[in-house]
């Protein structure tokens, strides 16, 4: 099972896999926005020479750097996450022991 199939099935991923998917997502949007920046003058019937390729490259570079930064952030923040099996196991153990579940103070009661 590859990383995309695991993500689609909502299976747990390693921090590196999550960061890689975040990087791919950002790279996709970078390409889409850069493509839109190039296509807009062409749709307006301007010649190809009217496109400022320096601006396109600059914007793509900035978006790529932001994407890389977000991927690194995703990787390093995920290092401290509790493994899903451990977290679920703790909740199941509490339920089996008859201990009440803790509820956040911001939670509201359901309407009756």
CA–CA separation, 50 and 46 (whole Å): 6
Which backbone phi and psi does 102 adopt, to 5 degrees?
-80, 140
CA–CA separation, 54 and 10 (whole Å): 41
CA–CA separation, 80 and 70 (whole Å): 17
Is pLDDT of 16 > 70? yes
Task: For the full predicted model, state whether its pTM sits above 0.85.
Answer: no
The residues, any chain, with a CB within 8 Å of residue 50's CB and separated by 6 or more, are 41
The per-residue pLDDT for range 40-91, each reduced to its tens digit, is 888 888 887 888 889 889 988 999 999 999 899 888 887 666 565 566 666 6
Residue 14 pLDDT class (50, 70, 90 cuts): confident
Residue 91: predicted pLDDT: 67
Residue 26: CB atoms within 10 A of its CB come to: 19
- Residue 82 sits at the vertex; the CA angle it makes with 12 and 64, to the nearest 5 degrees, is 65
Is pLDDT of 103 > 60? no
What residue ranges do the domains of the chain occupy?
3-96
């Amino acid at each position: 099972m590859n990383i995309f199939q695991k993500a689609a099935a909502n299976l747990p991923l390693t921090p590196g896999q999550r960061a890689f998917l975040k990087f791919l997502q950002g790279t996709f949007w970078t390409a889409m926005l850069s493509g839109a920046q190039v296509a807009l003058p062409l749709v307006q019937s301007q010649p190809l020479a009217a496109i400022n390729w320096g601006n396109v490259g600059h914007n793509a570079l900035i978006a790529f750097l932001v994407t890389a930064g977000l991927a690194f952030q995703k990787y390093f923040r995920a290092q401290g996450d509790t493994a899903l099996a451990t977290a679920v196991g703790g909740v199941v153990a509490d339920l089996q022991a008859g201990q009440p579940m803790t509820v956040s103070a911001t939670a509201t009661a359901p309407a009756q």
